[in-house]
Structure 1
Amino acid sequence: MYKMCYFVPSSHLDETKQALFEAGAGRIGDYDSCAWQCLGEGQFRPLAGSDPFLGTTGELERVEEYKVELVCEDQLIYDALAALKRSHPYEEPAYEIYRMEDI
C-alpha cells in the first residue's frame, strides 16, 4: 500500500480527486473515495522556459492550495500517478508517494 500526497489549487481539487478515485486510489476496506485534505498556501517562481498555469515567469507567486492525502494499492500506484498528472493543471505538479508498512 502507498500513501500519496499532492498539492492543488482549489479550482482543481475535485477534478484531481475524482481522477484518482476512478484510477482506484482512495480505497480502504469496504470504503472508497477516502481522502484527507487541508487548505494552505503554496508558493513558487516560474523560471525561464516554464509554461505556468498561474503566475508570471520570474515572479514569486503565492496561491491558495489544498494538500490532499490518500492511499493506493501497490498495483494501482502507477495508474493513479498518471491520473493525477493528467488531471492536474500545473505543468509540474508537486506530489509525494510513500510506501506504507503493514504492521
Structure 2
Amino acid sequence: MSAPTGRGPLDVLVVYVPVGDTDTLLEALFAAGAGAVGDYRECAFVTPGTGQFRPVDGANPTIGAVGDLEKVAENRIELVLDRSLRGAVVAALRAAHPYEEPAFHVLEAAPVEPV
C-alpha cells in the first residue's frame, strides 16, 4: 500500500490500549495508512496513563470480570490520517485492538495554510 501524503484533509485518531498491546495496534494502524506526515511515516505520540472501566451484564471483558471495577495501565495513542482513510483505519483499529469495545475518538483537524 502506498502511504498517503498527509496533504489532504486530515483526521486525528486518539485511542487507548493496554501497554503490552501498543506496538501491535500501532503496526495495524500504520499498515492502514495512519501516521503519515509529509515525508515521514509511522508518526505517533504515545502517553502512559491508567484506564478504568466496569463491565456490566452482557459484556465479555478481555480483562477483569463483569461487575468489577478494573484499572489498567494503558497508553493513549494519537496520530494523524488522511480523512479518506478514516473507514479503513477505524476497521484496522477494531480488528487489532484487544478490547471488546475499544475507547477511541476521531477528530477532524482544521485546515492550516502552507508555510
TM range (shorter): over 0.9
Following superposition, the deviation at residue 11 of structure 1 comes to 1.6
The partner residue of 1:19 within 28, 38, 52 is 28
The partner residue of 1:50 within 51, 59, 73 is 59
Residue in 2 aligned with 1:36? 45
Normalised TM-score (structure 1): 0.98
- 1:24-74 CA-partner distances (Å, limit 9, x unpaired): 000000000000010000100000110000011000000000000000001
- Runs ≥4 in structure 1, deviation > 4 angstroms? none
Normalised TM-score (structure 2): 0.88
Following superposition, the deviation at residue 82 of structure 1 comes to 0.3
Give runs of aligned pairs for residues 68-79 of structure 1, distance below 5 A: 68-79=77-88
Q: How many residues align?
A: 103
Sequence identity, in percent?
42
